[in-house]
Amino acid sequence: MRDLTKAAFSFSWAMSMFGAQQMFNLFRPSQTAQSFEKVTSAAEEEFGQPLQNIYKTGDDLQRRMVDALFGVFPSCGGCGDKQPDSNRGAAPPPNPPVAPAPRSSGWDAITVSRPPASEPQSRQSGNGAQAASIPHESDISPAYPFEPHYIDVFGSNMHYIEAGNGEPIVFIHGNPTWSYLWRNVLPHLVPYGRCIALDLIGYGRSDKPEIEYQWTDHARYVEEFFRKMGLKNVVVVLHDWGVSLGLNYAMRHERNVRAIAFMEGIFRTFPQWNDFSTPEFR
């Protein structure tokens, strides 16, 4: 009897604490979901398959209730853009917005929603130029049809390509790639600014001076490249260890960087090659 009483009080106390925690997590849905997943996993281990079937039935019922509830309300896609009654029945505006892609969870691949085949594959940008809305596999090309440009940095030529006009968008590649990495990206961003993809010193078509090629060397060359090019109010697009080089520049020149996009970043240096990742990866 004592154990039963203790268990009842412990259960009540635990559930009240769990409920209070979830109240604090109302504005953090992902945290709430993780908490419920932990409770669900613990219960499933205790009760096995019968409880899993109950949870599945409950999930399906909850999903239908939420869909029904939100189906009552109109979509906010057109909120703030109401048409007067006189316009009812008129043709819809050209280029209707494409529904956003579903958000990815964790480290899964991001799902890209594509417009139906009947819709145009390009959209009008703010300055009137055409830009493809979503890249397709058919757009991926090995061609590198860019005119080479060079600028002297510390006595060596650093190669870069550029296209478009306006405020600069600078692309910094990782290791061991070069500006070729961005060949299929630049055409989509040309309507938005002056796209510049550089070759780090020692890479691609840049010179190969007799230096150590340590991270600090590259940081110096990148900073001097920006200075010699006179780049102002820059967007930096960064990949791999180009992320750490670009973030270093942004940290040292905060007022000169207006936006940062980065992917697959390497954020720190390694004293020696054997410290990098695992033997299998190396």
User: For the chain, first and last CA: distance in Å?
Assistant: 61
The C-alpha R_g of the chain, in whole angstroms, comes to 27
Question: Residue 277: its pLDDT value, please?
Answer: 81
**55 Cβ partners below 8 Å, 6+ apart?**
40, 43, 44
* 26 vs 158: which has the higher pLDDT: 158
Q: Give the pLDDT of residue 5.
A: 73
User: 280 or 249: whose pLDDT is higher?
Assistant: 249
The whole-number pLDDT of residue 110 equals 39
- Between the ranges 9-13, 135-139, 183-187, 205-209, where is the mean pLDDT highest? 205-209
pLDDT: which is higher, 98 or 213: 213
Residue 203 is predicted with a pLDDT of 98
The domain made up of 149-274 has a fold known as Rossmann fold (3.40.50)
Structure confidence at residue 193 as a pLDDT band (50, 70, 90): very high
pLDDT at 58 over 90: no
pLDDT tens profile 221-232: 999 999 999 999
Q: Are 152 and 228 in contact (CB under 8 A)?
A: yes
Q: 214: which 2 tokens? A: 């340590």
10 Å Cβ neighbour count for 248? 16
Three-class secondary structure of residue 89 per DSSP:
coil
Averaged confidence pLDDT in the chain: 75
Instruction: Give percent above pLDDT 70 in the chain.
Output: 56
- Residue 248, pLDDT above cutoff 60: yes
In sequence order, the 6+-apart residues with CB closer than 8 A to the CB of 88 are none
Q: Could you tell me which residues come within 8 angstroms of residue 207 by beta carbon, excluding any fewer than 6 positions away?
A: 156, 157, 158, 201
